[in-house]
């Protein structure tokens, strides 16, 4: 009889759990940081002169250009763009870009907080943060550059997808498109230096990590997509994996927003996988109507109506998911005897944050240590709330909203 839970899933999860426990016991994060951080920090300091040379040519036009480009490749932009990609009928591309984005976000932020290397010092460097998102990004560590990493991976995969779906594209068009992508990546990297957000070593790290992740993803993306759409025990496996990834995340030298970003996008990936697994044969198979195609095209007015209905719906689900999680998770934790605190979501639990604030800057191997090895610590319930909130939002993108489209003949 075939096993209900595939052996490889059990082995994979046990492998991740074993790594997390061993890395916590042997303080792997601190050992890696002690060896890598000084090397990166020296190059950040030595690269200050390069940044100042570039910033000599500062101008309002360049400020607006590079700030605008940075917004286009930011996580909030992708968060808004990916639902539209799902609703346009390009489900496979949307699934892959969502999961790739989650993988890039987790990998890049893990390295950032593990190394804990500083951004360029201001002054003398001028750091331009034109948006609230950029101000929050400036609170993260610098190495590697997430904008560079994400741009390489997502634009590279999009290029691969377009070329693989259109085999008759001539060589001249392929070369021109490839050069355009390379130019765009170069502008992103240069712009991050010009804005004072990163040093040269951060950009180089983002390029190397981005190319490595992209090469890996192009080898495994078909297997991942087949598993998500047609696999066995997908939802349970992904829930367990998401839970482990939360506690596998390395503890930074000082608190940063990076863990919050990772938690949000891990929730997005969980919601997408759960929703697609349930509704693949109804809404996300390869024969659905698609925007900008000759076969079964989606009319532009119908797509506009989809956006008009879909966006308010997912925002409502996000609000309701957060409210529900704020009510259920503290009650559940209390019933299980788990001591919790809140960084801001649950007012009744924020008072205990001051008492345990010193725990935030304690060096440790990983967040799992706080669960297993120091049970007297308070656990931040906001992490679970954020995960549920974004999982609910993503689920609505691929399940609830397409169901509404079906009922309305859109």
Omega before 144 within 30 of 0, i.e. cis: yes
Averaged pLDDT for residues 98-126: 90
Q: Which residues contact 382 (CB under 8 A, 6 or more apart)?
A: 342, 343, 344, 345, 346
Residue 374 has pLDDT above 50, yes or no: no
Average pLDDT over residues 101-115: 92
% residues pLDDT > 90 (the chain): 30
Say which DSSP state 299 is in: P
Scanning the structure block, which residue is given the tokens 């992708």?
Answer: 78
How many angstroms separate the CA atoms of 198 and 146, rounded? Answer: 10
Average pLDDT over residues 53-82: 81
Note the pLDDT of residue 368.
45
Q: 195 near 142, Cβ under 8 Å? A: no
Residue 258: how many other CB atoms lie within 10 Å: 25
Helices (H) and strands (E) in the chain, counts: 17, 2
Read off the pLDDT of residues 195-209 as tens digits, 9 standing for 90 and up: 888 999 999 999 999
- What is the arithmetic mean of pLDDT over 232-252? 89
Q: Which of 176-180, 241-245, 341-345, 360-364 has the lowest mean pLDDT?
A: 360-364
Amino acid 156: pLDDT: 92
> What gap in Å lies between CA 321 and CA 90, rounded to an integer?
26
Q: Are 210 and 152 in contact (CB under 8 A)?
A: yes
Residue 130 has pLDDT above 60, yes or no: yes
pLDDT value, residue 75: 64
What pLDDT was estimated at residue 71?
A: 79
Active-site entry in 198, 221, 262, 284:
198
Measured CA to CA, the distance from residue 369 to residue 372 in angstroms comes to 5
* DSSP class per residue in 29-87: HHHHHHHHHHHHHHHHHHTHHHHHHHHTT--HHHHHHHHHHHHHTSHHHHHHHHHHHHH
In angstroms, the Cα distances linking 407 to 298, 300, 353, 392, 394 are 16, 19, 47, 21, 20
Q: What is the mean pLDDT of residues 384-388?
A: 88
For residue 269, name the pLDDT band (cuts at 50, 70, 90): very high
pLDDT band at 241 (very low <50, low <70, confident <90, very high): very high
Choose between 381 and 77: higher pLDDT: 381
Number of C-alpha atoms within 13 angstroms, CB side, residue 11? 3
Point out the catalytic residue in the list 147, 221, 262, 284: 147
pLDDT of 25 above 80:
yes
User: Does position 139 have pLDDT exceeding 60, yes or no?
Assistant: yes
**pLDDT at position 350 over 90:** no
Among 123-127, 165-169, 375-379, name the one with the lowest average pLDDT.
375-379
> 297: helix, coil or strand?
strand
Look at residue 103 in the predicted model and tell me its pLDDT. 92
Instruction: Please say if 147 is a catalytic residue.
Output: yes
CA 40/CA 148 separation, integer angstroms? 17
Q: Is residue 132 within 8 Å of residue 261, measured between CB atoms?
A: no
Residue 133 has pLDDT above 90, yes or no: no
Would you place residue 293 in the very low, low, confident or very high pLDDT band (cuts 50, 70, 90)?
Answer: low
Closest to 79 in 3D by CA, of 54, 60, 105, 58 = 105
Percent of the chain with pLDDT over 70: 88
Q: Do the beta carbons of residue 260 and residue 235 sit within 8 Å? A: no
Would you say residue 298 has pLDDT above 70?
no
Q: Which tokens in the block code for residue 291?
A: 């925007």
Better pLDDT: 367 or 397: 397
pLDDT value, residue 297: 67
Least confident of 116-125, 171-180, 329-338: 329-338
Q: Please give the span between the terminal C-alpha atoms of the chain, in angstroms, as a whole number.
A: 43
Return the pLDDT at 36. Answer: 92
* Residue 219 confidence (pLDDT): 93
Kindly indicate the confidence band of residue 183, based on its pLDDT and cuts at 50, 70 and 90. very high
Q: Mean pLDDT across the chain, nearest whole number? A: 83
């Amino acid at each position: 009889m075939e096993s209900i839970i595939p052996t490889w899933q059990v082995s994979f999860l046990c492998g991740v759990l074993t790594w997390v426990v061993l890395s916590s016991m042997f303080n792997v994060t601190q050992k890696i940081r002690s060896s890598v951080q000084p090397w990166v920090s020296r190059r950040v300091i030595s690269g200050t002169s390069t940044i100042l040379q570039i910033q000599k040519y500062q101008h309002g036009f360049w400020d607006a250009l590079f700030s605008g480009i940075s917004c286009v490749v930011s996580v909030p932009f992708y968060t808004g763009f990916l639902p539209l990609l799902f609703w346009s009928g390009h489900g496979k591309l949307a699934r892959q870009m969502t999961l790739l984005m989650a993988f890039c976000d987790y990998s890049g932020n893990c390295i950032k907080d593990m190394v804990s290397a500083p951004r360029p010092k201001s002054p003398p460097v001028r750091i331009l943060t034109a948006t609230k998102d950029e101000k929050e990004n400036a609170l993260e560590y610098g190495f590697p550059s997430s904008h560079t990493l994400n741009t390489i991976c997502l634009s590279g995969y999009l290029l691969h997808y377009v070329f693989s779906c259109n085999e008759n594209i001539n060589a001249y068009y392929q070369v021109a498109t490839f050069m355009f992508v390379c130019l765009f990546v170069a502008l992103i990297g240069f712009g991050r230096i010009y804005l004072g957000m990163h040093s040269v070593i951060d950009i180089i790290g983002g390029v190397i990590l981005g190319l490595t992740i992209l090469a890996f993803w192009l080898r495994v993306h078909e297997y991942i997509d087949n598993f998500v759409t047609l696999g066995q025990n997908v939802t349970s496996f992904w829930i367990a994996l998401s839970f482990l990834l939360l506690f596998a995340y390395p503890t930074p030298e000082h608190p940063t927003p990076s863990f919050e970003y990772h938690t949000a996008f891990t929730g997005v990936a969980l919601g997408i996988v759960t929703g697609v697994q349930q509704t693949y044969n109804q809404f996300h198979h390869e024969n659905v109507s698609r925007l900008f195609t000759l076969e079964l095209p989606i009319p532009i007015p119908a797509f506009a109506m989809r956006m008009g209905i879909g966006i308010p719906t997912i925002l409502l689900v996000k609000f309701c998911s957060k409210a529900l999680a704020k009510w259920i998770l503290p009650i559940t934790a209390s019933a299980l005897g788990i001591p919790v605190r809140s960084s801001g979501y649950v007012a009744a639990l924020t008072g205990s944050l001051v008492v345990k604030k010193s725990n935030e800057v304690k060096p440790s191997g990983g967040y799992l240590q706080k669960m297993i090895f120091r049970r007297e610590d308070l656990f931040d319930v906001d992490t679970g709330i954020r995960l549920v909130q974004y999982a609910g939002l993503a689920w609505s993108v691929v399940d609830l909203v397409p169901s509404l489209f079906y009922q309305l003949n859109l």
